[in-house]
Structure 1
Amino acid sequence: MNGDVVDVEAQRDVPESNGHAILKMAKRPVTLKFQDVVYKVKSPKRKTISLKKESQSESLERVILKGVSGVVRPSEMLAMLGPSGSGKTTLLTALGGRLGGNLKGSISYNGKPFSKQTKRNTGFVTQDDVLYAHLTVTETLVYTALLRLPNTMTKDEKIRQAEGVIVQLGLTRCKSSIVGGHHLRGVSGGERKRVSIGQEMLIDPSLLFLDEPTSGLDSTTAQRIVSTLSELANGGRTVVMTIHQPSSRLFYMFHKVMLLSEGNALYFGNGAQVMDYFESVGYAPSVAMNPADFLLDLANGVGPDETEDHVIVKEKLIVSYKNKLANKVKEELEEEEDKDGVVCEGNDPYKGEEWPTTWWQQFSVLLKRGLKERKHESFDMLKIAEIVLVALLAGLLWWQSKISNLQDQIGLLYFTSGFWGFFPLFEAIFTFPPERMILSKERSSGMYRLSSYFMARMASDLPMELVLPTIFVFITYWMAGLEPTVTSFLHYLFTLLLTILVAQGLGLALGALVMDLKSATTLGSVIMLTFLLAGGFYVQHIPKFISWIKYVSTSNYNYKLLLGSQYQIGETYPCGNGKECLVADFPSIKNVGLDGQVNSVIALVVMFVAYRLIAYVALMRIGVTKNKTA
């Protein structure tokens, strides 16, 4: 393993005192401004009935954000509230530079548009905690530090940075516990959320975005999370979050509040003054209540007078905002324009490099992380037992078969080809879909190249992909009494391993293209069954109009190579009545032939490369977002 990969287990005892000096003040304070942000999406076309025509297609354009403006300065924490569908997550994604499409308006960071340096100084915590379940808290943060922090820092400094974040976020007690997930018990929900925040805090961000950081947490845990975020904001950072229904304790911790309803801003300003504002426009709660609950009622069109029409309430609030607050927000934006460029951007620790680390460092860290995360899968006793039992059963069924029973021997070869076509195919289909969210998250943050991830993922899967079939061959080959020579055995073994790598490539391509396990599995079954049927064993006389399938069938080439490992051109077998017949003339062999072994290897190698290229290109669409603010 490359020296850049640090043994995480050996780093767990780093003194906690190292963490207290970390992340006290933001090095590059950022003022975030957004003005007249509009975002539109096209809805799917629908058919409508017309008097002149029987039907016609109509394409609708939904406006998600309708001219939203605001400014957030360093040491301020903005909370965006609103009911589901109000546009708060869309706005957060746009401000974080992760929203492409029909986005209009002005979004600036210290008066400049979104850039690579801005991206490196920005942390983005998604609503769902997208983490590897089998890694410990320390491993999760250390691997992230090794990937995201620049090479201007040494490995030990990166480790200390991770340890410091663990201390700062109060994760010391659980740092050796696995993160866990839906089906695996690990740390608590609040601790998992703090790990997600910690991954972003590693880069010492000046700008931190969080999508529903308290979702699904109890009030005490939510209080701790928001208190931590408040401390980070007090350190000179700009913190922006969406939050659905905070308690009153949480609400009064926010410096600024934005209330959204159907893409319209109903309020933007100081959190402590929000109740006074709505009272001034004629909406005051009839009883004492949580301000957040009251605001959400208003955003849904529910006023103190519940008999008032909901649509009318919303329209009144939109008009009141435009008349009373919009000009104030505009003035605040204009005031900040005079200060643009005054705030020091600080030195770029990346020194202009596009990536924080080299390709080889990324590959090495990702490979070690992948092996640690999936070692429970690689050494799954159920999978190993399955392969051994199938091998023993095949060995017993074909026990010491002789060339006189040529059909039986050929049946074993085709069974082996079919079994090791399906098994790795379905294993590989499950490679990328479960990791889609992690890949999207890490690619969006610019953590590593897609090529380094792809190659590390391929390499981490190889050990068990090749070990299990080798065990299978050692059991069945000698039990079935196949050709007892080293050359034939190695020919058989390497053919099977190449078969598996090709089938795995097909599974990777299907999984990356479809990204839906059920659909990809169904499609994979249909394709592999088609390949088996056209492989030359079941049907010897395939009609010409469909015979082209055999040229793309992996089973056809696998079958030919396996036959070539056992039989030679000119070899004979007893065919009854004391006669000797040519093996090459046997019906199940004649159509496939024993020649063309080299061409079959070339065809499989081409498929091996092509399928993986398809998978790689399909993955390129994940995690690539462009900021298109006007």
Structure 2
Amino acid sequence: WYIWIYWANPMAWCLQGLASNEFMASKYDNGEVLLAIRGFQIGSEWIGYAFAYMIPYMLVSTAFLGFALKWNTIEPEQVHVKEKNKVSVGTAAALDQSTSQFNLPFIPVDLSFDKIVYEVEASKGGETLRLLNEISGIFKAGRMCALMGSSGAGKTTLMDVIAMRKTSGTIEGEIKLNGFLQERTSFLRSSGYVEQFDVQQAELTVRETVTFCARLRLDGEDPAVGGDAGKLRYVDHVLETMELTDIQTLLVGSYEEGGLSFEQRKRLAIACELAGSPSVIFLDEPTSGLDSRGALLVMRAMKRIADTGRTVCATIHQPSSAVFEMFDDLILLKKGGNVVFFGELGEGSEHLIEYFESHGVPEIAFGENPAAWMLRAYAGEGASADADWGEIYKQSSQFTSLRNELAAIPESPDESKKLTFEKTYAVEGYERIKLMNARLTTIYKRSPAYNGTRLLIALFYAFLIGSVFLRNTGPRSQGSDTVWEENQVDGVISTMFLSLIIIGVTSISMAVPVMKKMRDVFYKHRASGMLKHDSIAWALAVAESPYIILVAFLFGLVYYATVGLFSTAEKFFIFWVFFVLNVAIYSYFGQAFICLVKDIPTAGALVGALIGYNVFFSGLIVKPQYFVGPFQLGYYTAPGRFLLEGITMNQFEGIKQTVEARDESPFFFFLNCTSNVAVQTESCSGTMEQYVIDYYFGGRFKPENFWLDIGVCLGYLVLARFLTWFSLMKFNYVNT
């Protein structure tokens, strides 16, 4: 009944039309024989039949697509999925008492910055653009400072420069923490940075996400931390501070498939940074995209963080009155990276209002939002075009007061307030790898759309490809005296090739988007000083391996059972080994490609190139004996060639079953048979081994190349892992 699938397949009709168009041409003397050998229909009329099928098929498919787009709407369900297993919450005592008063000791920080200049090279013309122009200020411990300004004023740029997030451009100026010059290792260990659009792993729970950060950012050898139990207790405190305790067992999820709300994600992002017990925490647009309730929830959490004595700095855009009133200080910027105002806001923003009104701005209306009034005053429609607010600020008492404060910072500050860390990372390398291994193992277990789907696809295609032979005179019931036809042997070889390609394409295509998410989360962790590239590079290989082995085993088991190859334990084992290598090469190159380039479409181009390279040069579409000249380079470098050679030579070596040559076929003449002999005496035939090794692959696929095939495939695996490792170390596809 598979014949109905064949007749319904548009690709089969397309191939029939192309084959008929080519081989029914007058330049072929035996075109009908060549078509018959491959199982095609004979006759030029099949060219027209192909068009008669494919054109209506295309029209019906287009109509169906239009109908589906119009009438079928698929919306993601915002479903909270609870864990089945009970989550450990640290010591038993932590379960019985509130953690609201629990905190880890940290050094409060006054962060000062003086005459910060940031310049980048223009994309065209080679000119230098100054984005920040001699900005000075102080972020004080226990206070919240808002960083505001019109679009393009440099709010996020300034915060990124201070937080050491910029990896391009030229930075000038001086940044100090409690009077000591900023030093990268100590600063990253003692600070946190919450991005505007934070990325988290969808497959982990809220608690697992925060716990991972705490375990990597807190030093368990520190007596104040108290080992892993102390870290877990601190996680309880962080969850309570961020009002996440009630949803700690929910999966983070994604916007497409459902999960945490946008506001809950914001609080989770803050919790992840707070899990490192930072002295300073930066937040980029923490209230953007939130309704008034959500914004107040986030601001209330930020206020609690500042009340512990930590320094909090946040860029903010068009805040409500309630949100704006919760800040203690303000840095206001205008386009060009110049300061318009820096100082305390005061009760009800009285200091800010007094400053602007004293410089000619109309009085604020009763009940008006001070933030909106301020922005309109210096950059809105009613703002004076003649007023240079940057110069006005430099002539103000606020600027003089700031200069006096910066000058008062002692040259020999108190050593007890210095942030020092002996190690770059809070935990040792083996512990980072161990934690990352456990994290990725959990992610893979909770990724049925990835792992479950590829297992089902492997089983489906193994049965679909192999079951074609269920009712044929296949190998399973054949004795040594069984006679094969050429197209039967060709079919078995073709299924081996299809198996490698179909499962390979599935593996690499599914690996790219999954790796993209993990790569982006890693970028955030690396920028926070949590871990290095080697931790995730190693963990990726370990987490992927069991599924690669299982996919290969299940496919091989079903394929062998249905095709009924010349089965021995040794042949099955070797088939499985090469199939493991095939799945691994494609999966790991998928990971490497998305780490090498910025986005999925570009990685898709590399994926397509690898697939096409393997398909063309593997040795089935074009036989090995026909690769000459420069084309031999592709033949000798395509991993698919070594995979196909390894599998086919292992399966057919030593098989002496008879293959009967079709009259006047290429194999017929290969055996030096003649039509008269074939008709008048016995049929023309050769052995299975002779047909496959000597004729089909022209003697260029050789059984003795077994260890070469294994070695080259292992070499490609090493190359894929190296590319992943190198790309994670070298590249950072975020806006820096």
TM over 0.5: yes
Determine if contact 2:119/2:170 at 8 Å carries over to the other structure.
yes
CA contact (8 A) 1:259 1:299 kept: no
Structure 1 residue 620, shift from structure 2 partner: 0.9
Alignment match of 1:389 (pick from 455, 460, 466): 460
Report the 3-state secondary structure (helix = DSSP H, G, I; strand = E; otherwise coil) of the residue aligned with 2:416. Answer: coil
Residue 340 of structure 2 corresponds to which residue in structure 1? 266
Which of 498, 520, 537 aligns to 1:454? It is 537
Contact 2:220 2:231 in 1 (8 A): no
Q: Do the aligned residues in 1 keep the contact of 2:137 with 2:402 (CA within 8 Å)?
A: yes
Give, as a single letter, the amino acid of the residue that structure 2 aligns with 1:321. Answer: Y
- What amino acid is aligned across from residue 11 of structure 1 in structure 2? V
Match of residue 430, structure 1, among 500, 506, 513: 513
- In structure 2, how many angstroms separate the alpha carbons of the residues matched to 1:161 and 1:419? 48
Alpha-carbon offset, residue 382 of structure 1: 4.2
Structure 1 residues 343, 251: CA separation in 2 closer, same or farther (over 3 Å shift)? Answer: farther
Query: 233, 246, 253: which is aligned to 1:180?
Result: 253
Give the structure 2 partner of residue 238 of structure 1: 311
Match of 1:65 among 121, 132, 144: 132
2:241 maps to 1:168: yes
Alpha-carbon spacing, 1:201–1:343, altered in 2? closer, same or farther (3 Å): farther
1:596 matches 2:690? no
Does residue 235 of structure 2 align to residue 158 of structure 1?
A: no
Q: 2:53 matched to which residue of 1?
A: none
- Any residues of structure 2 matched to 1:512-527 within 5 Å, and which? 512-527=595-610
The question of whether the paired residues in 1 share the 8 Å contact of 2:178 and 2:418 is answered with: no
> Pick from 683, 686, 698: which aligns with 1:580?
686
1:370 aligns with 2:450: no
How far does the alpha carbon of each residue in 1:439-473 deviate from its partner, in whole angstroms, 9 at most, with x for none?
11111111123211111122112222221231111
Q: RMSD value over aligned CA atoms?
A: 2.4
The answer to whether the 8 A contact 1:129-1:193 is kept is: yes
Counterpart contact for 2:321–2:371, Cα < 8 Å: yes
Instruction: Supply the AA of the counterpart residue of 1:22.
Output: F
State the SS of the aligned residue for 1:204: coil
Tell me what 1:477 maps to: 560
Q: 1-side partners of 2:138 and 2:513: how far apart?
A: 44
2:524 is paired with a residue of what secondary structure?
helix
Residue 550 of structure 1 and its aligned partner are, at CA, apart by: 1.4
**2:390 is aligned with 1:318:** yes
User: Deviations along 1:228-285, whole A, 9 cap, x unmatched?
Assistant: 3223223222111111111112222211101111111111111131111111111134
Deviations 1:354-389 (A, max 9, x none): 221122322222222222223232476544433322
Query: Take 1:497 and 1:284, find their aligned partners in 2: how far apart are those partners?
Result: 75
Tell me the SS of whatever aligns to 1:66: strand
**What SS does structure 2 have at the residue aligned with 1:417?**
helix
Count the aligned residue pairs.
Answer: 597
Question: What residue number does 1:282 align with?
Answer: 360
Say if 1:196 and 1:363 are closer, same or farther in 2 by CA, change over 3 A.
same
Measured in 1, the distance between the counterparts of 2:567 and 2:654 equals 18
Structure 1 residue 38 corresponds to structure 2 residue 117: yes
Residue in 1 aligned with 2:199?
Answer: 130
1:361 aligns with 2:441: no
Listed as ranges, the matches of 1:82-231 within 5 Å are 82-100=149-167, 101-115=169-183, 116-152=185-221, 153-231=226-304
Rg larger in 1 or in 2?
2
Which residue does the alignment assign to 1:327? Answer: 400
Are 1:79 and 1:242, in contact at CA under 8 Å, matched by a contact in 2?
A: yes
> Deviation per CA, 1:52-85, whole angstroms, max 9, x where unpaired?
xxxxxx2232221111111122122110011221
Partners of 1:96 and 1:124 within 8 A in 2: yes
Native 8 Å contact 1:18 1:160 kept in 2 = no
Would the aligned equivalents of 1:421 and 1:555 in 2 still touch at CA under 8 Å?
A: no
Secondary structure of the residue that 1:223 maps to in structure 2?
Answer: helix
Q: Does 1:292 align with 2:371?
A: yes
Alpha-carbon distance change, 280 to 181 in structure 1, aligned in 2, over 3 angstroms: same
CA contact (8 A) 2:591 2:724 kept: yes
**Is 1:11 the counterpart of 2:89 in the alignment?**
yes
Which amino acid counterpart does residue 113 of structure 1 have in structure 2?
A: L
Whichever residue aligns with residue 157 of structure 2, its letter is: T
Summarize the Cα distance change of 1:407–1:434 in structure 2 as closer, same or farther, 3 Å threshold.
Answer: same
| Shift in alpha-carbon separation, 1:253–1:219, aligned structure 2, 3 A | same
1:544-563 to 2 correspondences below 5 Å: 544-563=629-648
Long gaps (5+) in structure 1:
1-6, 46-57
Could you tell me how far 1:606 is from its partner in structure 2? 0.9
**C-alpha displacement at 1:346, in angstroms?**
6.7
Identity of aligned residues (%): 25
Q: Which residue of 2 aligns with 1:252?
A: 325
Residues 573 and 62 of structure 1: CA distance in aligned 2, closer, same or farther (over 3 Å): farther
Tell me the CA shift for residue 91 of structure 1. 0.6
2:51 matched to which residue of 1?
A: none
2:613 is aligned to 530
Per-residue displacement from partner, 1:197-242 (whole Å, max 9, x unpaired)?
1112222211111111111112222223223322322322211111
